[in-house]
Structure 1
Amino acid sequence: FWLAPRQVVVASIVSDADAYVHEVVATLKKAGVRAEADIRNEKINYKVREHSVAKVPVILAIGMKEVEERTVSLRRLGEKQTRVLPLEEVVRDLSAEATPPDLR
């Protein structure tokens, strides 16, 4: 995970969630995680497939439910399951994973 050029992509499900997407990306970057926002007007399945093919290790999907609850839907490369987790927990865990092993 820590070697990937793009460690996390934060994808919006609806355009109303774009502000929260940018907030999540800023929070991740502040924590030392290489993150990008994907707020294009495409279906979420298309975005997930595109980023999975590009081998992005973690995709965070955000819709209105996640915005209201201050959570993110986390999907790891190679896993079919998505998990909905609090933003603070995800930032903490991904920040720890983004640190190279010799610096932990």
Structure 2
Amino acid sequence: MSITKEQIREVKSRGFLLNRGTERFSGRIVTAAGLFTPDELRTVAELAEKFGNGKVIMTSRLAAELEGIPFEKIPEAEKFANERGLYFGGTGAKIRPVTACKGTTCIYGNI
């Protein structure tokens, strides 16, 4: 399968970035200030195993990035996540997720 530049641009706006040298994508799950519940973490792990290569990377903006998602599985991954209250996003020309200090738990927090 050959993915077009238009297809790459379109899924980027939904939170999926093309992995270098492949036709697979990393999808970013946006969090509420970096906070995941145990159920959400289980869903992230299940997404990574079911649709990606099994790896999850935490980004500097506190999103969970799932690697190795085939282009044709992106809609199914989105549906699976959305049904469980999680959403891909955080890429493209839009407002970025905010990085928050854990001020309520960290002794160096400013909040």
- The alignment's TM-score, normalised by the length of structure 1, stands at 0.32
Structure 2-normalised TM-score? 0.31
- Hey, which of these two has a bigger chunk of helix by percent? 1
Choose 1 or 2 for highest CA Rg: 2
